[in-house]
Structure 1
Amino acid sequence: MKAFLLTFCCCLLVLGAGAQPGISEMQQAQQNLRSTFFSAMDCSLVLAAVFGIIGAVRIYHNWQMGHPRIDEQVAVWFFAAFFMVLAGAFLRGVFGL
């Protein structure tokens, strides 16, 4: 009786495994992820460029106005842009694309 019950449960497991979503749905989800990811990667690079340009203008303005400590501002704006570039690379590594 136990052997019959065990065999019956194994057959039910096989039927449940056959009812999983197909390969085409998984490929469609992967394609959607890739298109969204490349948009996010481009967005991170654009944000890094914007941070760099805004930072350069503000630092130049402060330098021309004679502010004594612009080296701290240079570091802040540089690392803000650098962080955005690294965030894009991190996303690429996480999603394996």
Structure 2
Amino acid sequence: MKKINLKIDQKGAALLIGMLCMASLVLGQSATGIDQATSEINSYVDPVSNLIIAIGAVVGLIGGVRVYIKWQSGDQDTQKAIMGWFGACLFLILVGVVIKAFFS
């Protein structure tokens, strides 16, 4: 009876050692993949951030024209339109800056 338990313990120890060796190989490969993915994402950060800032500038220009048209027509919601468009532009510009700061 004791011999059976000894064989199970030896098999369990061999299995554990084998799993540890495989885990170290897998972790070594995943670190290389993570480093490669990080460098690839960092290469996209500047163009995406600049694109977001450019979209914010275009939205700001279009919003300025719309607010000017409302103001010239005597609309009472001019202040609400100004705050809405200013908030949208500020959000887009801040997102571009935060993306650069987070990934750089």
- Aligned-pair RMSD on alpha carbons? 2.3
| Aligned positions, number | 96
The runs of 5 or more residues in structure 2 that have no matched partner are: 1-5
Counterparts of residues 44-63 of structure 1 (less than 5 Å): 44-63=52-71
What fraction of aligned residue pairs are identical, expressed as a percent?
Answer: 23
Q: Structure 2-normalised TM-score?
A: 0.73
Counterparts of residues 16-95 of structure 1 (less than 5 Å): 16-20=22-26, 21=29, 23-92=31-100
CA displacement 1:22-77 (0-9 Å, x = unmatched): 65433221111111222222222111111111111111122122222200000110
**2:3 corresponds to:** none
Q: Structure 1-normalised TM-score?
A: 0.77
Contact 2:42-2:103 within 8 A present in 1 as well:
no
Shift of 1:92: 5.0
Q: Which has the larger radius of gyration?
A: 2
